[in-house]
């Protein structure tokens, strides 16, 4: 989709997944595209309805967690569009892990027993629960790969004050607890996720999407313990299956590695997995919408008009 021209537009940024418009230096319009990225690389083919799935899950979750901490969202006037306040980003991703999976498992399997300065217990198997959820932050890179960082390094580099760090930890753990509770009501386990925060008028404010398949990993609760005991692979709903497919096809985003071909059938499989997660997590049938660019722009303009008056 070509960039839009919106009223009082002061900036435009096209990210890996979202197109972000700044209006009057105060508001953001985020359009979730159907692009998909893995290993910090945008894959060559879009995934039908992925943007709608991400945007509508995020809007639902942001509304459900407003009592925990303030967030940036004002409204979602179209399936792929969210409008909210512009925050001054804190350059840290708050990664919360309830289970030993993904990057944490790869680190553990290599023999290391600390991650981001957090000690990891001995004797765990892949996907086991941690005794309590852990926070393994990463730096938020503008370009390239995010990097693991410890709380000690965050404070030494003065990325935030000790008081702000404690508030980020409290917010992240409370959001994760709420996310786990909501997921479990739908028969899912929230295994890990990430949160991004910024400052809005001096207040730490939750930004961006939360509890979506791009930012989180969900296991099916039914049969989880039996699969763990038998050493079987866990059934999950997340983007990890795309990463696993890429790894199997010798792609991890490293220089010189070509992206494997994505067939029509594989694209459809990915789309259906995203839709399945929406229906499982939200507990409602997915209603696909196909707005024209003109209709999307009209809805955005109608929503931002009172804000910019």
What per-residue confidence (pLDDT) applies to 239? 82
What does the mean pLDDT of the chain come to? 94
Cβ atoms 178, 133 nearer than 8 A: no
**Average of pLDDT values for 53-63?**
96
Residues 6+ apart with CB under 8 A from 165: 151, 154, 155
Give 213's pLDDT tier (boundaries 50, 70, 90). confident
Strand order in the sheet with 81-85: 9-14, 18-23, 27-32, 81-85, 73-78
Domain ranges of the chain: 89-238
**Average of pLDDT values for 255-269?**
94
What per-residue confidence (pLDDT) applies to 7? 94
**pLDDT over 90 at 60, yes or no:** yes
More confident residue, 122 or 215: 122
Q: 28-48, pLDDT tens digit by residue? A: 999 999 999 988 889 999 999
Pick the CATH number of 89-238 from 3.30.470.20, 2.30.30.140, 3.40.50.720, 3.40.640.10: 3.30.470.20
What per-residue confidence (pLDDT) applies to 143? 55
What per-residue confidence (pLDDT) applies to 9? 96
**pLDDT over 60 at 144, yes or no:** no
What per-residue confidence (pLDDT) applies to 145? 61
**Average of pLDDT values for 219-225?**
96
Give 142's pLDDT tier (boundaries 50, 70, 90). low
Give 237's pLDDT tier (boundaries 50, 70, 90). confident
What per-residue confidence (pLDDT) applies to 141? 63
- Buried residues in 43-52 as b, exposed as e (16+ CB within 10 A): bebbbbbbbb
**Average of pLDDT values for 213-241?**
91
**pLDDT over 90 at 268, yes or no:** yes
Residues 6+ apart with CB under 8 A from 195: 93, 94, 96, 171, 172, 175, 206, 210
Give 240's pLDDT tier (boundaries 50, 70, 90). confident
**Average of pLDDT values for 116-138?**
97
The angle subtended at Cα 24 by Cα 11 and Cα 195, nearest 5°, is 65
pTM: 0.90
Q: Nearest 5°: phi and psi at 129? A: -70, 140
What per-residue confidence (pLDDT) applies to 227? 97
Q: 75-105, pLDDT tens digit by residue? A: 999 999 999 999 999 999 999 999 999 999 9
**Average of pLDDT values for 232-237?**
89
**pLDDT over 90 at 186, yes or no:** yes
Structure tokens at 79: 């399936």
């Amino acid at each position: 989709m070509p960039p839009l021209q919106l009223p009082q537009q002061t900036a435009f940024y096209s990210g890996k997944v979202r197109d972000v418009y700044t209006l009057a230096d105060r508001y953001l319009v985020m359009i979730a595209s159907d692009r998909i990225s893995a290993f910090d690389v945008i894959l060559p083919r879009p995934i039908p309805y992925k943007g709608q799935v991400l945007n509508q899950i995020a809007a639902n979750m942001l509304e459900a967690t407003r009592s925990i901490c303030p967030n940036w969202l004002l409204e979602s006037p179209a399936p792929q569009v969210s409008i909210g306040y512009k925050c001054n980003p804190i350059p840290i991703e708050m990664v919360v892990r309830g289970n030993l999976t993904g990057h944490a498992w790869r680190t553990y399997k290599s023999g290391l027993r600390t991650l981001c300065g957090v000690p990891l217990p001995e004797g765990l198997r892949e996907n086991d629960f941690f005794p309590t959820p852990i926070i393994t932050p990463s730096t938020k890179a503008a370009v390239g790969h995010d990097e693991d960082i410890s709380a000690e390094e965050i404070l030494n580099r003065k990325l935030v004050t000790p008081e702000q760090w404690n508030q980020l930890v409290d917010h992240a753990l409370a959001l994760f607890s709420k996310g786990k509770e909501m997921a479990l009501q739908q028969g899912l386990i929230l295994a890990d996720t990430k949160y991004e925060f910024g400052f809005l008028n001096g207040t730490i404010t939750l930004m961006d999407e939360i509890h979506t398949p791009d930012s989180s990993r969900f296991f099916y609760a039914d049969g989880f313990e039996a699969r763990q005991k038998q050493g079987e692979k866990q059934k999950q709903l997340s983007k990890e299956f795309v990463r696993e497919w890429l790894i199997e096809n010798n792609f991890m985003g490293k220089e010189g590695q070509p992206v494997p071909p994505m067939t029509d059938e594989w694209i459809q499989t990915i789309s259906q997995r995203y839709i399945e997660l929406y229906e499982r997590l939200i507990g409602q049938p997915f209603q696909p919408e196909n707005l024209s660019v003109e209709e999307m722009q009209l809805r955005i303009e109608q929503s931002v008009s009172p804000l910019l008056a």
